[in-house]
Structure 1
Amino acid sequence: MNIRWKPSVTVAAIIERDGRYLLVEEHTPEGLRLNNPAGHLDPGESPLQGVAREALEETAYTFTPTSLVGVYLSRFQRPATGEDITYLRFAYAGDVGPQQPDRELDTGIVRTLWMTPDEIRSSADRHRSPLVQRCIEDHLAGQRFPVDLVFTDPSVLQPPA
């Protein structure tokens, strides 16, 4: 049997202000979980466009990515169904702008939280995945790469024929 493996590509915003990180509390099939503002890369967008969009949709804050924190590969098996998913995550740090208070948060997002690294570490049992903590630890360690490390060919940005 020849099955092509296709990991799900996601983008995550690692947003820090005054020593606190912006997380979202969201409904998942596993219950209420904490996550970095993150989501799937949509067709026709670059990772930079995707992370800015996801941050705005999930937090109502504008976000401008300025560096790549890391690229992460993770496997998740959903306990209830046994579904096996592999994620390829591009995590970006950047500048957070003003919050748009009248903007509704994306479906499933309950609220946003500004948490210290210690608060995040002590809530590990509520993280959506181990990547929540890993991305923050890498950010705290100063791990940064230029955003142009990930090249998006213009053909990606064109609508399908």
Structure 2
Amino acid sequence: MSSTQWKPNTTVAAIIERDGRFLMVREQTDDGVRLNQPAGHLEYGETLLQAVVREAREETAHTFTPRALVGIYLADKTGSDITYLRFAFCGDAGAHDPAQRLDDGILAAEWLSADEIMASAALWRSPLVGRCLQDYLAGQRASLDLIHHHLPG
């Protein structure tokens, strides 16, 4: 690791279930096409909840209403000195805008069953895809009241 100060990359992910299926994205990455929950990086000045709502919209063209925190995950990217700190939220998909262009790199947003997702482990963006889904299916939920933001303005 370099001599500069190490900081984890803060990310958010949306676990969105409807009628027993989960809204997932197929994305083009440096490692090829990968499967992920709608997810991305926290941007300067936004709250975790604003970030997950934004990322879900940008990657799926669906609005998203977070209902609970499923978990907080720390994971190193294999073969690098990058660490991700992921906050996974579950909630509801709202309106879909079919005219909205999806984020760069997103090939498709699709509804998959838990079995289809678990059977696609070789395509996961990271092992956190499966872990977040397993925690969600096990009923792991924490109140959004646990999250406090102290941002200026």
Q: TM-score, normalised by structure 1?
A: 0.91
Structure 2 residue 90 is matched with structure 1 residue 93:
yes
Letter in 1 for 2:33: L
Alignment-derived partner of residue 148 in structure 1: 145
For residues 154 and 86 of structure 1, what CA distance do their matches in structure 2 show?
A: 24
Superposition pairs for residues 108-119 of structure 1, below 5 Å?
108-119=105-116
Residue deviations 1:47-96 (CA, integer Å, cap 9, x gap): 0000000000000000011100000000013xxxx432100000000111
Q: Secondary structure at the match of 1:154?
A: coil
For residues 92 and 61 of structure 1, what CA distance do their matches in structure 2 show?
A: 15
Superposition pairs for residues 119-158 of structure 1, below 5 Å?
119-155=116-152, 158=153
Q: Secondary structure at the match of 2:110?
A: strand
Letter in 2 for 1:139: Y
* Further displaced range: 20-29 or 1-10: 1-10
Which of 74, 99, 102 is the aligned partner of 1:102?
A: 99
For residues 120 and 41 of structure 1, what CA distance do their matches in structure 2 show?
A: 25
Identity among equivalent pairs (%): 57
Superposition pairs for residues 53-64 of structure 1, below 5 Å?
53-64=54-65
> What is the aligned residue count?
152
Shift of 1:150: 1.8
Letter in 2 for 1:86: T
Alignment-derived partner of residue 76 in structure 2: 75
Q: TM-score, normalised by structure 2?
A: 0.95
Superposition pairs for residues 43-58 of structure 1, below 5 Å?
43-58=44-59
Structure 2 residue 19 is matched with structure 1 residue 22:
no
Letter in 1 for 2:148: F
- Aligned residues: CA RMSD: 1.2
Residue deviations 1:85-121 (CA, integer Å, cap 9, x gap): 1000000001110111110000000001111111111
- Could you tell me which runs of 5 or more consecutive residues in structure 1 were left unpaired when the two chains were aligned: none
Shift of 1:148: 2.1
Shift of 1:151: 1.0
